[in-house]
Structure 1
Amino acid sequence: MATEIVDKKKKTEEPMEGKSKGLNTLLWILVVIFFTAAAIGNVYFQKVYSAPVRVIGMAIALVLAFVFAAITNQGTKARNFFKEAKNEARKVVWPTRSETRQTTLIVMGVTVVASLFFWATDSIIVSIINFLTDLRF
């Protein structure tokens, strides 16, 4: 069993064609620069430009940062993960409307019953503690 898992991992861990370490580092530096430019530029140019102009500038800087982040090695892995997750979500057999309604009603009923049980238990415990503390020896 364990050897099957190890063999499966070896098969799935194919070396991924990626960017060089230097290029990847450069892309991450650009991401940080554009995020920083968006944040600081908004505050720095507050008195020079109106809000719509600053919002457009921030949006452009953030989009560029996301684009650079998406083309890094980690961004490529993330995009592949989300693509695979989307494919897996298509395979899910979703419950019907009536199944969803029935399950919701069951959960609501169990919640009400549990709430009443805990309320009753709490009331009994409070009554016992009040009785014991009111006793005078």
Structure 2
Amino acid sequence: MDHLDRTLLKLLQEDGRMTVSELSKKLALSRPSVSERLLRLQEKGAITGFAARVSPAALGRNIQVIIQISELKVSPSDFDKRIVLDSDILECHRVTGTVSYILKAAVTGMDALSLLVERLMPFGNVNTSVILSSPVMNPVVLPKE
């Protein structure tokens, strides 16, 4: 991955709606060259997709929480199948250590949080932490040089 690829990744992470023409101007490359680089980065798996970043709070989900699930009572594959169906879950990570899973969820209020915890209790021990602020969100990720 060369300097132009790293710059391309940086630009797209800062503004995913940037057109090939705009990228072409910023990189001083032809549009076909930029398109070729984009395709190559997608084929390599460096770019996995393009999506809008949506604010859960703007959609009425004012409470965001981190949930730790420990002492799993079902198999990880059973838990994985169940958790992908829960619309309150924003992220799910299977991790090492005493905790089996770390989840990020967004709910409309304390009643919704209580219901989410009740839904999760059959799968293991549930520990929740309300997110007060997020000083780092969606940082630009680039390969180490």
Task: Return the structure number with greater strand share.
Answer: 2
TM-score of the superposed pair, with normalisation by structure 1:
0.22
The structure having more radius of gyration, on CA atoms, is: 1
Task: Return the structure number with greater helix share.
Answer: 1
